[in-house]
Structure 1
Amino acid sequence: MGKFEITTRTNGEFQFNLKAANHQIILTSQGYSTRASCENGIASVRENSQVVANFERNKSTNGKHYFNLKAANGLVIGTSEMYESTSSMENGIASVMSNAPSAIIEG
């Protein structure tokens, strides 16, 4: 089972990481000014991760693949790690889709 880990950045902002059952980070959030808004971000990931069209697939300038999960309003709510291949990135998307709905919250 996956989990959302809430942490505090050095600037005092809250962020979350969605981790798969193997403890690998599969999605990282932006910074939030309050814990409540961070928890709202988690709720948004749970909902929006179930719509394939909400995943924006990208390629970085160094050729690596990554994705953003977007909310219905078009704002990015999470970004993946960098992947060597398109197939690895697609596996990452599938992992977010399967882990996010039932992931526990820690931190």
Structure 2
Amino acid sequence: MYFHLYRDANGQYRWTLYAANNRKIANSGEGYYNRIDCIAAINLVKGSGPAPIRE
């Protein structure tokens, strides 16, 4: 699994999470003006492992 960090057509930073089979499984859903803010969002996703699942 890996995160792809890139700039969109508007010049904002975004991320996409890819599975081991190279399929997209999540994305940022919004653009970030600063690279560091985009990286912070990636770290939030990385740290959300113990978050409960709600139905």
Q: TM-score, normalised by structure 2?
A: 0.86
Partner of 2:50: 50
C-alpha separation in 2, matches of 1:24 and 1:8: 19
Deviations 1:5-63 (A, max 9, x none): 0010010100000000000010000211111000000000011243133x6x7xxxxxx
Structure 2: where are the runs of 5+ without partners? none
Count of aligned pairs between the two proteins: 54
Q: Within 1, Cα distance between the matches of 2:31 and 2:50? A: 23
Q: CA RMSD in A?
A: 1.6
% identical aligned pairs: 28
TM-score between the two structures when normalised by the length of structure 1: 0.46
Structure 1 letter corresponding to 2:16: N
